Amino acid sequence: MIRPLDAAYAALLGVTSPVWGFSLLRTGKWRTDWKGRRGFAPPPPDVDAPTALLHGVSVGEVVAAEPLVRRLHAEGVRVVVSATTNTGTERARALFAPEHPVVRFPLDFSWMVSRFLDRVRPDAVALLELEVWPHFTAECRRRGIPVSVVNGRLTESSFRGYRRLRGLAGPSFRRLTRVGAQTREYADRFEGLGVPADRIDVTGTMKWDVELPDDLSARAAELRADLGVPSDRPVVVAISTGPDEERALLDAVPADVTLVVVPRKPERFAEVASLTEWTRRSERRGPDGRTGPAEGPFLIDTMGEAEVATALADVVVIGRTFDGLGGSNPIPAAALGKPIVAGPDHHNFAQVVEALGPAVRVIDDPSAIGAVLADRAALERMARAGPDVVAAQRGATERNAALVLDMLSGHGSS
């Protein structure tokens, strides 16, 4: 018998198919693991260890999970990592495979969820930041699999959306065994959606705990050589940029400063490339691609090199902070001791920007970047402040790991 929610999902997909179908074709995202999205996850090898499924939607959640995966593995837990997006899955495989299985998270149709759980067989599930789905939480409850949210984040807009759907969303939140929320504000919102207060802890954000690769400096030097970035000019690197930001940065960065741009989404590479004559990373890889010093600006139109580009910078501009999209993660730049410039639209990382304090200069418009670059004394103070703040904020991974281990031991409330 078809469940009412399955029927509703099918109807919604049918009505909206012209929109999402066109988007998939336009962006190339139709080339995805549809088999995995239907629950056909490859069964992980049998091991004599408890299994924790860690799920993140996309790249940000997956990267933040890295220290948690290491911590649980050290405790003898077999960790399976799932992701929703193509880019999240690719990043998860780069970080965790083959030591830790990486699978696609299923669509929330009941039979797809059931098939997925039959194959992965988790003893506990930790959802990174949010991603609470009705059929998934219900089927886990039926099977006695505890489900938590770790590194929990619930923005005001998401909270309002779930409140409007409280008849559907409320039971899903009440099924959660535990929540490790990043802030007290987020914790209060989880409680407002039905999670009992005694199941919620404020654990902080695991993004502070991400360890940067030991070879990052060497890779940044290699990137500089590959691109041909001049060694005698300051370098501004704009990380995870969004629509219209690249054009504004091209106009704003002074002529005697080298600009390196790293768009957030690969489907925008061609759009950004059309804005001007760039030296493109995709065309200058390794010794065979090097042709000596190059003219800027420089475009990183490849995946997985945002942190490397950050290490190359003298100043880092945080993308998606000038276009209303809420910002990207400034913590790696702060950990590397880079002065950080952000726009006013950083609500996704408002607490992080506030905590970083003197390491970040918030400006209203990219046109103010020139004035920031001219104040060398201020840039030096910003660079010194970042690593100290990051070190002081660490510890969320340990608290979230304790939450997952508690579920695996059978001591979590249900």
* Structural domain contains residue 179: yes
3-state secondary structure of 197: helix
Cite the beta strand spans of 41-185 per DSSP E: 51-56, 78-83, 102-104, 124-128, 147-152, 178-181
* Structural domain contains residue 364: yes
Same-domain pairing of 389 and 399: no
- Residues 340-383: pLDDT tens digits? 999 999 988 998 999 999 999 999 999 999 999 999 999 999 99
DSSP single-letter state for residue 154: -
* Structural domain contains residue 209: no
**pTM reported for the whole predicted model:** 0.80
- Residues 78-122: pLDDT tens digits? 999 999 998 899 999 999 989 999 999 999 999 999 999 999 999
* Structural domain contains residue 56: yes
* Structural domain contains residue 414: no
DSSP letters for 199-234: GEEE---GGGGPPPPTTHHHHHHHHHHHHT--TTS-
Same-domain pairing of 354 and 272: yes
Same-domain pairing of 383 and 402: no
Same-domain pairing of 241 and 165: no
DSSP single-letter state for residue 84: S
Same-domain pairing of 291 and 350: yes
* Structural domain contains residue 413: no
- Helix ranges (DSSP H) in 156-280: 156-164, 166-174, 184-192, 216-227, 245-252, 269-273
- Residues 128-169: pLDDT tens digits? 999 899 999 999 999 999 999 999 999 898 999 999 988 888
- Residue written as tokens 């949210």? 149
What distance separates the 2 farthest-apart alpha carbons in the chain? Answer: 70
Q: What is the pLDDT of residue 1?
A: 42
Whether 412 shows a pLDDT value over 50: the answer reads no
Whether the CB-CB separation of 240 and 319 falls below 8 Å is answered with yes
Same-domain pairing of 187 and 231: no
**CATH code for the domain in which residue 240 is found:** 3.40.50.2000
Same-domain pairing of 1 and 74: no
Same-domain pairing of 285 and 386: yes
Q: What is the pLDDT of residue 107?
A: 94
Q: Is 131 left (phi over 0), alpha (psi -120 to 50) or beta?
A: left
Q: To the nearest 10°, the Cα dihedral for 213, 219, 220, 223?
A: -150
- Rounded distance between C-alpha atoms, residue 71 and residue 31, angstroms: 34
- Rounded distance between C-alpha atoms, residue 330 and residue 346, angstroms: 10
3-state secondary structure of 41: coil
Same-domain pairing of 194 and 67: yes
- Residue written as tokens 């070190």? 391
Q: Which domain holds residue 17?
A: 1-26
Q: Which residues contact 135 (CB under 8 A, 6 or more apart)?
A: 3, 5, 6, 108, 109, 110, 113
- Residues 226-239: pLDDT tens digits? 999 988 899 999 99
Angle at Cα 209 formed by Cα 47 and Cα 409, nearest 5°?
Answer: 35
Q: Is the peptide bond before 344 cis (omega within 30 degrees of 0)?
A: no
Q: Phi and psi (nearest 5°) for 94? A: -65, -35
Whether the CB-CB separation of 82 and 104 falls below 8 Å is answered with yes
Which one is predicted more confidently, 271 or 29? 271
- Rounded distance between C-alpha atoms, residue 322 and residue 343, angstroms: 5
* Structural domain contains residue 210: no
Do β-strands 200-202 and 258-263 pair in parallel, antiparallel, or remain unpaired? unpaired
Same-domain pairing of 52 and 197: yes
Half-sphere exposure of 252 (CA within 13 A, CB side): 24
Tell me the percentage of the chain whose pLDDT exceeds 90.
75
- Range in 20-29, 184-193, 205-214, 300-309 with the lowest mean pLDDT: 20-29
Do β-strands 200-202 and 124-128 pair in parallel, antiparallel, or remain unpaired? unpaired
Which H, E and C letters describe 15-35, residue by residue?
HHHHHHHHHHHHHCCCCCCHH
Same-domain pairing of 170 and 254: no
Q: For residue 20, what pLDDT band results from cuts at 50, 70 and 90? A: low
- Residues 29-88: pLDDT tens digits? 666 778 988 999 998 888 889 999 999 998 889 988 999 999 999 999 999 999 999 889
Same-domain pairing of 148 and 231: no
Q: Which residues pair with 298 in a beta bridge?
A: 260, 279
**CATH code for the domain in which residue 178 is found:** 3.40.50.11720
* Structural domain contains residue 378: yes
Count up the domains in the chain and report the number. Answer: 3
